A and B are shown apart, each in its own frame.
Chain A
């Protein structure tokens, strides 16, 4: 078996065409995704501190305190530049600030246009104006309760800060990379298919030669499938590493488990290909077509091309997501990035494990001890 494994591995690593699909294609697609979504994410999705100019026309201690509380630390809402009117207007014209807050008897705001930053700025000022009115009212009517109210309002202001819901990735475009990795896993089906076809006498002369040799079919198949899994795993690990460490896409904190998820998906992909390759009565070309079709089709339904498809299937026909191996692999990555515990991850891993066993068992049943009706 070691002999078969060695040469199977050597053969696969020397196939130039398959090396492209193994290593270059996933990296090219990752890069294409990153080029398409990476900048969008930086520009629009990641919150960045809003630069503003403050023109203090009169002293307003309460406002200064409130502004200071949201302008400190790593998650600061605003980056404040104190300036006179002329300087502030210049900064606004030069697009170096998003807006100018005029602090006078009342607060007024000048912004460049519409968008997220001016909305936040306006929202902050409105919230402050409401709170200022409440404080003044309390101070006049119930001064002994002022400290309690101030503390409560301070918390309200802090609500404007971004707080992560989970320990995982909040990158909204990470889904596409999850779907891409799931597709890489399913591309293992073409390796699995070769493992199957190359051991069948009616589909390849090599298969015929192996069949007439005294080596047990199970050994041949196991060695070839194992080496296929190893080669495809290498491709998966390279792709995950490239996305994480070169493209620096945020896929959460559980790096090691991402690799585990990738390898589990790869095993399923290889097993699926093996099963497709074992379907009797079909030519190799038809089997390759089925393998490619299943890989691309299942990737489509897992949201590789349009992220909303998977969510739509989840609401209309959730079973389809559970029997689509690519969608299950995507879910594995999702579980790692969205949930604190491993319950859902393990649940998905179990589904994938069962799929893998079914594919391998069915494939072996279809090919074992076989004499063909024709060659």
Chain B
């Protein structure tokens, strides 16, 4: 890891009585794909808006590329690319014109801009649509255009605020691949989402935010290690006598086991051969079973264990 790209210290942001950010701290290094993960309303977008000097904050400090950030820091702004949660494109301009327009806010040299626009169009795969107006594009293509408008000027720091909301799986994969590619090309990425699978897939480091607080930060593995649970085992079976269930609960490293809806769920903390020992009990009791899963705890499990609540809204 290299230099510190973003440093937020003791950031406090209030909306009247509501504390949106409560002494929030964050440090992002050059070359990271940093994920800000949290449920809706946790303060992810507020962090981004404060970072970009769009929002006033009550306390704390923000530095980007080692410089204090404020609305007049045009040199810093020139190195940032932003993809907002809401699609921000001009309906009266074509795909190419939109990208050219937003790129032109950063790049004044026409020849260079033309090259950058061509590269951005190719990057998001909109070559066939460059003469289309936004209203003719599907939701996924529109999101891709939104991304192209934000990254065409080749920024060093790219901030993506929930870029995959309401996007079909195909476009979502394309977007995630694109983000990884931008990082490979040298950009530092800040990625906010409440989709834990996305964050797990692309982020090198993650901060979990809840109620304006940074409740956990680290790599995926580091976050998993923060919690008691190390393994989730699920076994489908038609019946499970209470005696067998008690036997399972008594196994070393098993701290919780429950049987419901023909499914046995076993939570383990530590141990290497929990699944083998469990299946041995099934064999001894001569109980037939169907599908068996052994999973590492997800970020949702991390969130659940830390806060007692689900990370993702019920949909």
Chain A residues with CB under 8 Å of chain B are 3-4, 7, 10-12, 14-15, 201-202, 204-206, 208-216, 369-375
Contacts and interface: CB of A to CB of B under 8 A. Distances in A.
A14 B105 contact: no
B106 interface: yes
A283 to B, nearest CB: 16
A213 B88 contact: no
A214 B78 contact: yes
Given A7-B93, A11-B92, A206-B90, A212 B77 contact: yes
B82 interface: yes
A209 B150 CA distance: 8
B55 A371 contact: yes
B167 interface: no
Contacts of B89: 206
A373 to B, nearest CB: 6
Contacts of B261: none
Contacts of B102: 209, 213
B74 to A, nearest CB: 4
Contacts of B93: 7, 10-11, 14
Interface string B90-102: 1011000100011
Given A3-B104, A209-B102, A371-B54, A214 B74 contact: yes
A204 B54 CA distance: 12
A10 B75 contact: no
Given A206-B90, A209-B82, A215-B105, A374 B55 contact: yes
B49 interface: yes
Given A205-B84, A208-B54, A209-B149, 11 more contacts: A7-B93, A7-B97, A7-B104, A208-B88, A211-B71, A212-B77, A212-B82, A213-B102, A213-B105, A213-B106, A374-B15
Interface string B104-140: 1110100000000000000000000000000000000
B53 interface: yes
Contacts of B149: 209
Nearest to B82: A212
Contacts, number: 81
B90 A7 contact: yes
Contact of A7 (B52, B74, B101): B101
Nearest to A216: B74
Contact of B55 (A3, A216, A373): A373
5 contacts: A3-B101, A11-B93, A205-B87, A206-B89, A211-B71
Contacts of A209: 82, 84, 88, 102, 149-150
B86 A205 contact: yes
B78 A373 contact: no
| Most interface-central of A212, A369, A372, A375 (chain B CB within 10 A) | A212
Interface in B54-81: 54-56, 71-72, 74-75, 77-78, 80
5 closest Cβ pairs, A-B complex: A205-B88, A14-B92, A213-B105, A214-B78, A214-B74
B300 to A, nearest CB: 28
Contacts of B92: 10-12, 14-15
A3 B88 contact: no
B54 A214 contact: no
A12 B53 CA distance: 29
Contacts of B56: 371-373
Nearest to A374: B15
Contacts of A15: 92
A371 B104 CA distance: 23
Pick from A202, A213, A216 the residue with the most CB of B within 10 Å.
A213
Nearest to A7: B101
B90 to A, nearest CB: 6
Given A201-B54, A212-B52, A375-B55, A369 B72 contact: yes
A14 B55 CA distance: 33
